[in-house]
Amino acid sequence: MDEALTRAVDDLYAVFARYPARPTIAACPHCISPAAQAALRAAPPRRLAAAALRPFTTKALSTWGDADDFRHFLPRMLELGALDDAWFRWDLAVATGKLRRARWHTWPADEQRAVTAYCHALWHHVLTVSPDERPAEELLRALHNLFDDVTPFLAAWRQDASEPALRQLAAVIRSVARTPPAHLDGRILAWITHPRTREDVEAGFFRAGSPAVARELSDAHDDVVALCGAAGPAAPPRAPRD
């Protein structure tokens, strides 16, 4: 984790420390095994293994524990989203879905700020790595569980012209271009079809560090043009040959 993300995670632990572990976490005896209960208590939250926490994350607020139990383990759920590839791709969306179910936007202000700060820190971190490592598209799905409008996160791309950020942008554009119109978020589509997005992708194409990256950005440029319903420039950029 980078420094900003580390600080955000530390703040989560500090803020949610007001929810201590309970001696017993209420659970459906037919759904939660004694072994799963024991695994959840096998270590303090900050050292709890992903495999031990995953069952609780999936069943929290339904058949296992209440909102305070969930908040006790929440910092670890979110920390694993920054540390563990599998958790980032699958379980982070589950955890943020539970946050929505817990009506996190009604929680005390410092708890809301800690969760929001973590989301922004994780988003900025993801823009520094390749989409093969941590796809921004997956994080957007998780963020949709928490925020009605994710365009403030998209706006971070306007300030980041690095190659990893542009590759992440190209991957999201590719996904949006292949999404049925009925399933598209209109605000994301409006952001992608803004002239600045096409300019950013085209500028990135000419700065690309390899033919493979140039091809990704060239394809993204074509997708933006198609999404705009426009013909695009007379001579759209083409990826150089290997």
List, run by run, the mean pLDDT of 10-residue segments along the chain (242 residues).
Answer: 95 97 91 93 94 96 96 98 94 96 97 98 96 94 93 89 94 92 85 92 93 95 86 43 39
Q: What is the pLDDT of residue 51?
A: 96
Which pTM does this prediction carry?
0.90
In this predicted structure, what is the pLDDT of residue 235?
Answer: 40
Which residue segment(s) compose the domain that 38 sits in?
1-106
Residues with Cβ within 8 Å of 186's Cβ and at least 6 positions away in sequence, in order, are: none
Q: What pLDDT was estimated at residue 233?
A: 44
Q: Is residue 67 part of a domain?
A: yes
CB 91 within 8 A of CB 81: yes
Output phi, psi for 27, to 5 deg: -155, 155
| Beta-carbon-side half-sphere exposure of residue 177 (alpha carbons within 13 Å) | 19
C-alpha span between 174 and 187 (Å, rounded): 16
Residue 229's pLDDT is what? 81
Within-domain flag for 98: yes
What's the residue count for the chain?
242
20, part of any domain: yes
Res 158: pLDDT:
86
Number of domains present in the structure of the chain? 1
* Euclidean distance between CA atoms 192 and 23, whole angstroms: 50
